[in-house]
């Protein structure tokens, strides 16, 4: 498992480092844009042993910087970095007749480092274009909150998995792979982007040795983002 994680991270870092090198093959660009982003995360946690869940909704807010460095035929290449406040977590589907409810919200400071590929209008033109983002994401745990029903009773849980309740985060550093696709509208006042994004965590927020309660506790989420960027360098 550790070998697979390292290969994923290495592949994404290689892709990011390769983009500026490709500028020798196409028409160079030096377009820098910065702005803000916001949206929602629909998250779950990959547990082992398994825990039944429904989608857990949280917000995401942050700042974005994008540097476009090359136009190669009809494709624009660049890199994008963000610093986001992001909410993740899980909501359990408790089906033991107790009518209990439980959810946990976990707050992170996350930094995605993305290769950005766009197809369509040049960055300096008005109009629409399609783009894809992909790369590694690194996060730092900030805080969490648990919500459970007043009539709390775990005696009838069908699979007997109750160790997660009240269990604090043990690994504050989180990393994984993220990628997305969307549309961008460029105007005289800036760039407006709408993106769907998926994140898959390669790390666990609880210890996962053979003696621990869970061998897997990794985040994943689908996010919907809206971003506004304005040009600093054209």
Partner residues linked to 42 by β-bridges: 57, 222
CA distance 161 to 52: 10
Structure tokens at 137: 């994401």
Residue-level length of the chain: 234
Count up the domains in the chain and report the number: 1
Residue 127 confidence (pLDDT) = 86
Domain of residue 143, CATH code: 2.40.160.20
Pair of tokens at residue 208 = 């996962």
Residue 149 in 3-state DSSP?
coil
pLDDT tens across the length of the chain (234 residues): 555 555 555 655 555 555 544 445 567 878 999 999 999 999 999 999 999 999 999 999 999 999 998 887 788 899 999 999 999 999 999 999 899 999 999 999 999 999 999 998 765 667 899 999 999 999 999 999 999 999 999 998 878 899 999 999 999 999 999 999 999 999 999 999 999 999 999 999 999 999 999 999 999 999 999 999 999 998
- 3-state DSSP assignment of residue 7: helix
**If you search the block for the tokens 């309740």, which residue do you land on?**
165
Residue 175 and residue 202 in contact, taking contact as beta carbons nearer than 8 Å: yes
pLDDT score at 22: 46
Residue 6 CB-density burial (10 A; 0-12 exposed, 13-18 middle, 19+ buried): exposed
Burial of 103 (0-12, 13-18, 19+ CB in 10 A): middle
pLDDT of amino acid 8 = 57
Q: d(Cα 33, Cα 188) in Å, to the nearest integer?
A: 13
Strand (E) positions, 150-209? 173-187, 190-201
Tell me the CA distances in angstroms from 76 to 13, 116, 119, 169, one per residue in order: 19, 8, 6, 41
pLDDT for 15? 55
d(CA 152, CA 28): 62
Decide if 87 contacts 60 (C-beta within 8 A). yes
pLDDT of residue 149: 94
Residue 132: domain span: 2-233
Measured CA to CA, the distance from residue 117 to residue 140 in angstroms comes to: 27
pLDDT, position 18: 54
| DSSP E strands, 14-170 | 27-48, 53-54, 56-72, 75-92, 102-120, 127-148
Residue 71: predicted pLDDT: 80
Asked if residues 81 and 52 have their Cβ atoms less than 8 Å apart, the reply is no
């Amino acid at each position: 498992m550790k070998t697979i994680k390292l290969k994923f991270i290495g592949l994404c870092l290689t892709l990011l480092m390769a983009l500026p090198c490709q500028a020798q093959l196409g028409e160079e660009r030096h377009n820098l844009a910065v702005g803000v982003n916001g949206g929602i995360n629909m998250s779950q946690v990959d547990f082992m042993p398994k825990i039944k869940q429904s989608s857990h909704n949280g917000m995401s807010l942050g700042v974005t910087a994008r540097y476009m460095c090359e136009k190669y035929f009809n494709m624009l290449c660049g890199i994008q970095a963000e610093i986001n406040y992001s909410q993740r977590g899980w909501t359990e589907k408790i089906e033991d007749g107790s009518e209990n409810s439980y959810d946990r919200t976990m707050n992170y400071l996350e930094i995605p480092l993305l290769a950005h590929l766009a197809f369509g209008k040049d960055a300096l033109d008005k109009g629409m274009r399609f783009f894809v983002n992909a790369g590694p994401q690194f996060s730092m745990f900030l805080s969490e909150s648990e919500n459970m029903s007043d009539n709390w009773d775990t005696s009838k849980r069908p699979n007997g998995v109750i160790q997660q309740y009240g269990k604090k985060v043990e690994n504050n550093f989180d990393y994984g792979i993220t990628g997305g696709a969307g549309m961008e509208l460029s105007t005289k006042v800036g760039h407006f982007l709408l993106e769907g994004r998926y994140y898959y965590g390669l790390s666990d927020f609880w210890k996962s040795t053979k003696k621990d309660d869970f061998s897997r506790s990794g985040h994943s989420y689908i996010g919907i983002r809206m971003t506004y960027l304005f040009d600093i360098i054209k």
